[in-house]
Amino acid sequence: MNPNLALHAPLPTRRIEVTTKSIIMGAVTSRDWAPLHHDVVWAKTEGNLPDIIMNNYTQAGLINAYVTDWSGPAARVGRLRFSMRSPICPGDALELSGVIEAIEPEPELIWVSLAIELTVGERVATRSTVRVALPASEQSPSLWHRQAGAWKP
């Protein structure tokens, strides 16, 4: 059920061709109306940016999806941290990669810490760390049934 867990093991990479449509779609569906995510003239002239840029909600969504595609949907992401170092723009070939940084077994679950990078060629666009809980075994109760006090992300 769980992926093979080994310290420093890499996650499979995911490649995404970023387009104007995907950036605008991510911004609009996350209800982010700021012009730097849909108006190229504004982004260049007012934002001093090379083009429209991917918003942070879309980046958070991509990172979460990258993690649960690897872990499977029974996993439960507890904490996401990311810093955006350079913009993600239309035409970028974005690659998500990750590595297991820590494994912390607890009764009925295993906390896994992942270091994830979003890169465009040699350029690091975003660095992220994610703390995700995986069921300890197939017999473990669903992580989503934990009472609020027992869920400590």
Partner 1 sequence: MTDLPSIVKSWIGTAVVVVERTVTVEKESWLGFCAAIQDGNPLYWDESFAQSHTERTIAPFAMLPSWGSTHPWYPGKQSDGIRAMELHFMLKEALSYPNGIVTSVEMAYHEPVRAGDSVRVEQILRSVSDERATRLGPGRDWTIEVVYRRQDHVLLGLETMSFLGYRRN
SS (HEC) of the chain: CCCCCCCCCEEEEEEEECCHHHHHHHHHHCCCCCHHHCCHHHHHHCCCCCCCCCCHHHHHHHHHHHHHHHHCCCCEEEEEEEEECCCCCCCCEEEEEEEEEEEEEECCEEEEEEEEEEEECCEEEEEEEEEEEEECCCCCCCHHHCCHHHCCC
Regarding 109 and contact with partner 1 (CB under 8 A), the answer is no
Cβ 26 to partner 1 shortest distance, Å: 4
Q: Which of residues 23-82 bind partner 1 (CB under 8 A)?
A: 25-26, 29-34, 36, 46-48, 53, 55-58, 60-65, 68-69, 73-74, 76-82
Instruction: Name the residue nearer to partner 1 (CB basis): 9 or 28.
Output: 28
Binding site for partner 1 (CB under 8 A): 16, 22, 25-26, 29-34, 36, 46-48, 53, 55-58, 60-65, 68-69, 73-74, 76-84, 142-145, 148, 151, 153
